[in-house]
Amino acid sequence: MEKLAMKRAAKIYTMNKGLGNSETIIQGDCNVAKQQVSLPCACIYQTRLDNNIAWMAEFAKQSQVEFSPHGKTTMAPDIFKKQLNAGAYAITIATVQQAVVAAQAGAKRIIMANQLVGKANMQQLSYLLKQYQVDFYCLVDDVSNVTSLGEFFSKQGIQVKLFIELGVPGGRCGVVDEQKLQQLVAHIKQFSSLQLAGIEVYEGVLSTQSEVTAFLADAVTTCKELIEQQAFATEQVIITAGGSAWYDLVCDAFAPSNMLDNMVPVIRPGCYVAHDQGIYGHAQQQILARNPLACNIGSDLQSCLEVWAYVQSLPEPGRAIIGMGKRDVAFDAGLPIANLHIDQHGVVTKAGADWQVEKIMDQHAMLRVDQNSHLKVGDIIAFGTSHPCLTFDKWRYINVIDDNYNVVGIFDTYF
């Protein structure tokens, strides 16, 4: 068995990017800065990750809301487990496949912040609900989808809990008029296989604080009105919102003074767990500027995901070609940010303040540096990112490192 395990490990480590020698890692002697990991590789700093998980758990606790982190950010079961151990009310996902990963990680409550559409997907959920004891919720905003769900799960002998998604004109999904909302409520009641259990919104489609605040206030009002109409089939009624940019405003809208006794407020940030040095770093600064609680938690969110890569070529002064590209790192919301320079002796220093990625291709990034830079081919640059979701999904395995760049674990991802 031990030989088989080693053979499997060797196959995994040689056929996937960004890992060290399997024997070296198993022996616990692997350091990214010492060139003991194949580059490019993705790394997560363990202490920063743990800080972020604890920070959001404390923010939610002091805000008196439940938190259901969005698992699509990392799709890493080991991170799900850490979030659940920190008190997460549920794990949020976007697809049934992601729900399977969350259930296998131990989630007992799963919120699918999406509509469940298609027979094959319904069948996959049916298998999941028969195999695992989980409380599952998904969204609806269309009468025909309700019919499909109701008829399918009636035949399966399974009851599925639903949230009606409220939307905004020109937004993403969701009901945008009162008549359709009332039609949905009435139609759900026709199926014993379906239970209306709450209201869901996604405020991330809005651009301004005033728009978000108004939308959330309307959602709270609508939820209360539906409770008064006895629209819900469950004793507790969940109201949920909250991406990673406006979660503080969601907590304000879901304050205890705005809730009825049977309302359960749930926020769903995802990117906080890795944070970043781009769009969510900027969003967090805005949150700190307007929210006193966020300033008083005792720490702050820290960017903990980096991609490490070699200097591949120095074709001319002031330009370094890096062995990292669109296949390795997010580029949709800003290009990677050079954080660290590691020379070929393993000496780690901060990257030059003026070093900037100017262009990125499939396997290469063009880094502008000082013309007198002492960079050499074979040096290593560690890059921070913007929008961590789109870096995570490029890696099957991610190195967990300590503050001295030792590999202390490997996170598997399942995208």
The 10s digit of each residue's pLDDT in 103-112 is 999 999 999 9
The predicted structure's pLDDT at residue 8: 55
Chain Cα centroid distance, residue 90: 13
Q: What is each CA distance from 191 to 82, 121, 266, 362, 398, in whole angstroms?
A: 37, 19, 26, 50, 44
The predicted structure's pLDDT at residue 229: 97
Architecture of the domain delimited by 22-46+302-412: Beta Barrel (2.40)
Pull the structure tokens for residue 160: 């599925």
Q: Where in the chain is the domain with CATH 2.40.37.20?
A: 22-46+302-412
The predicted structure's pLDDT at residue 338: 98
**pLDDT per position as a tens digit, 7-19:** 556 667 678 999 9
131 Rama sector, left if φ>0, alpha if ψ -120 to 50, beta otherwise:
alpha
The predicted structure's pLDDT at residue 382: 98
- Is residue 138 within 8 Å of residue 122, measured between CB atoms? no
Q: How confident is the model at residue 6 (pLDDT cuts 50, 70, 90)?
A: very low
DSSP-assigned states of every residue in 329-383? S--BTB--EEEEEE-TT--EEEPPTT-EEEEE-SS-EEEE--TT----TT-EEEE
For 185, residues 6+ apart whose C-beta sits below 8 A from its C-beta are 164, 196, 226, 229, 231
Q: Has residue 5 got a pLDDT over 70?
A: no
DSSP letter assigned to residue 33: G
**pLDDT per position as a tens digit, 150-170:** 999 999 999 999 999 999 999
Of the chain, the percentage scoring pLDDT greater than 70 comes to 95
The predicted structure's pLDDT at residue 21: 73
For 208, residues 6+ apart whose C-beta sits below 8 A from its C-beta are none
Q: Using CA of residue 183, residue 127, residue 8, residue 403, what is the dihedral sign? A: positive
The predicted structure's pLDDT at residue 26: 66
Q: Can you list the positions of beta strands (E) in 213-316?
A: 237-241, 263-267, 305-316
- Is residue 239 within 8 Å of residue 219, measured between CB atoms? yes
Helices 119-131 and 143-156 sit at what angle, rounded to 10 degrees?
40
Please state, rounded to an integer, the average pLDDT across all residues of the chain: 95
Architecture of the domain delimited by 64-270: Alpha-Beta Barrel (3.20)
Q: How confident is the model at residue 321 (pLDDT cuts 50, 70, 90)?
A: very high
Q: Where in the chain is the domain with CATH 3.20.20.10?
A: 64-270
Closest listed residue to residue 218, CA positions, set 261, 181, 189: 181
